[in-house]
Amino acid sequence: MDSRHLGPIALEGGVGGGWMNTTVEIAGSSVPFRLEIDFPSKFDEGVVRKIDLALDALPDLEGLARQTIETAAERPGSAPALMFELWGATSIEEPRIEDFLRQLRATQITMLPDGGPGSLDRIVLAYRLEHSPTSGTATVRFREGIGAELDPAPRVFS
């Protein structure tokens, strides 16, 4: 089956689940992309249409993910707040959230279009700071019936 965005979809794996790794363009950069299919036996043109519709909306979803990160950066203890604090500590000037957000880059996108009730994640975007000693990640999950959720901050953050 062919996707308008991904071309031919050839899944690796088997009966218990399949995946495909590739890249997609987002905000002018090529980002690693993983498609995970929970039910390969039900993988058909309808699922491919869902994938293409989600990829059509990827720029909007990326904007929502950044809004989620921006809001959380003002909430002490969140992963973005910790990243902002560490990033700001290396800045010569007063750290500004706008500058912080400009330095964030999507580093991984995972799409799970057919997960069941046990897996509500549909699109997961992970972000890191470009050119920064901070090794933390801010991960935003778009969950079916819930919307955007930010992963909690790890216990150890550097």
Alpha helices in the chain, H assignment, sequence order = 45-56, 58-73, 79-89, 97-103
pTM over 0.85: yes
Query: How do beta strands 104-111 and 121-129 pair?
Result: antiparallel
Q: Say if residue 67's pLDDT is above 50.
A: yes
Q: Would you place residue 134 in the very low, low, confident or very high pLDDT band (cuts 50, 70, 90)?
A: low
Q: Which of 28-37, 43-52, 66-75, 89-98 is predicted least confidently? A: 89-98
Report domain extents, the chain: 2-150
pLDDT digits (tens, 9 = 90+) for 7-62: 999 999 877 789 999 999 998 899 999 999 998 888 999 999 999 999 999 999 99
